[in-house]
């Protein structure tokens, strides 16, 4: 279900950007569309996390798939920028609901010795969908048109609903959940130093991911690449995330979580320093692959650290806080990127600013290595 939902989500991020440009929208409008994907999730992720701590993943998954189907159907049926706005809100809200519920469920169903492995398996599904979503969207736009692309993407939540119906009767919650305390407050989690460090690094990594998904379609269109070529570049990123996540058992045996996160941030800084300097497709493919190796290694490590550090009965809430941090990035950074791109008349300064942020994040994460040495 997560893979099918993520195909629709990642494909829609590409399709929303390129459809808006096709409708002669500005870079700021594209940024606003990307921000709307995360606006409601930013406000509600902690509540979603607490809810999933109480009831499990099945009901949230049902609602998620319905929202994503409606969010893809709208732009496919009503061909206007307004339908893109509404679709963006529904798609982002639906996917976040699925993301929090399933990640919490995987953590509860795992044991301490298998948690990194199990989150790596989940992340492999994300890698497959990160390849399929942009490629399906790119080729569908070129051969079927922008509106029909959303109708194609609407089919995947329907397939996910069929999967949910088939497995519902055999679905059981994992080990018994510990009830969250009645007086639980978000500030308690933010005062937890290990969790706070994870939230900071997770936010930086989310910035790195957002820059790629938002800026590459704009940069590609600016240098004259076709939609299918842009989709292939973004799909190459997804291939790299699959490769590195397939290697996670070896990485987990040889490197700690914080060593992996430090290396990922440093590699991301290096790639973003170089990315705006090239327009040759083979070089862009190579850089996208390197970036995928770095960012793809992070999610299993981050989720493992959250489940280790979160208080009993509050893992869903902790996942919700992390999702809020990510969605704040999804909400505000595209607007900032779009406004800066319009102000500078190009994307190069934005890539370099984020490269500096990633380098600072690598230094911060490196200090955690020394504390855990």
CB atoms within 10 A of CB 229: 16
Kindly give the interhelix angle for 298-309 and 281-296, rounded to the nearest 10 degrees.
20
Structural domain contains residue 140: yes
Q: How confident is the model at residue 175 (pLDDT cuts 50, 70, 90)?
A: very low
Q: Is residue 24 part of a domain?
A: yes
Q: Where are the alpha helices (DSSP H) in the chain?
A: 2-22, 27-55, 58-77, 81-109, 115-144, 146-168, 186-190, 193-222, 227-246, 248-254, 257-274, 281-296, 298-309, 315-344, 348-372
pLDDT digits (tens, 9 = 90+) for 300-323: 788 878 877 777 667 777 877 887
Is residue 13 in a domain? yes
Q: How confident is the model at residue 27 (pLDDT cuts 50, 70, 90)?
A: confident
Residue listed under structure tokens 């992720």:
45
Decide if 102 contacts 1 (C-beta within 8 A).
Answer: yes
Which CATH number do you get for residue 281? 1.20.1250.20
In a domain, 181, yes or no: no
Other C-beta atoms within 10 Å of 184: how many? 15
Residue 180 lies in a domain: no
* Domain assignment present for 48: yes
Residue 267 token pair:
């590699």
Residue 122 covered by a domain = yes
Task: Estimate the share of the chain in helix, then strand, then coil, as percent rounded to the nearest 5.
Answer: 85, 0, 15
Owning domain of residue 60: 2-175+186-372
Of the listed ranges 33-37, 82-86, 140-144, 280-284, the least confidently predicted one is 33-37
Render pLDDT for 237-276 as a digit per residue (tens, 0 to 9).
878 888 888 888 788 788 888 888 999 999 999 999 998 8
What is the pTM (predicted TM-score) of this model?
A: 0.71
Q: Is 78 a domain residue?
A: yes
Q: For the chain, how many structural domains are there in total? A: 1
């Amino acid at each position: 279900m997560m893979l099918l939902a993520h195909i629709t989500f990642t494909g829609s991020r590409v399709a929303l950007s390129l459809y808006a440009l096709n409708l002669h929208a500005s870079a700021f409008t594209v940024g606003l569309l990307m921000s709307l994907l995360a606006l409601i999730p930013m406000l509600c992720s902690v509540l979603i996390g607490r809810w999933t701590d109480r009831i499990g993943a099945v009901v949230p998954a049902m609602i998620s798939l319905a929202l994503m189907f409606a969010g893809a159907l709208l732009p496919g049926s009503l061909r206007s920028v307004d339908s893109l706005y509404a679709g963006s809100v529904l798609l982002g809200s639906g996917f976040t609901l699925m993301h929090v519920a399933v990640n919490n469920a995987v953590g509860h169903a795992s044991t301490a010795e298998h948690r990194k492995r199990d989150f790596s398996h989940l992340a492999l599904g994300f890698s497959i969908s990160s390849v399929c979503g942009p490629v399906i969207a790119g080729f569908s736009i070129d051969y079927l048109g922008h509106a029909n692309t959303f109708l194609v993407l609407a089919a995947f939540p329907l397939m996910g609903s069929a999967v949910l119906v088939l497995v519902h009767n055999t679905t059981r919650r994992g080990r018994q959940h510990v009830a969250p305390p009645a007086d639980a407050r978000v500030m308690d989690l933010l005062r937890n130093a290990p969790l706070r460090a994870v939230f900071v690094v997770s936010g930086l990594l989310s910035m790195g991911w957002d820059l790629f998904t938002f800026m590459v379609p704009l940069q590609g269109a600016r240098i004259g690449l076709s939609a299918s070529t842009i989709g292939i570049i973004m799909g190459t990123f997804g291939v790299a995330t699959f490769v590195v996540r397939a290697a996670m058992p070896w990485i987990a045996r040889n490197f700690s979580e914080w060593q992996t996160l430090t290396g990922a941030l440093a590699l991301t800084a290096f790639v973003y320093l170089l990315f705006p300097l090239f327009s040759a497709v083979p070089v862009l493919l190579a850089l996208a692959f390197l970036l995928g190796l770095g960012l793809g290694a992070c999610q299993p490590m981050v989720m493992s650290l959250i489940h280790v550090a979160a208080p009993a009965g509050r893992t869903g809430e902790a996942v919700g806080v992390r999702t809020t941090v990510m969605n704040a990035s999804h909400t505000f950074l595209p607007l900032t990127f779009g406004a800066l791109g319009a102000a500078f008349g190009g994307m190069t300064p934005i890539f370099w600013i984020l490269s500096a942020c990633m380098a600072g994040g690598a230094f911060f994460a490196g200090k955690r290595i020394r504390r855990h040495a």
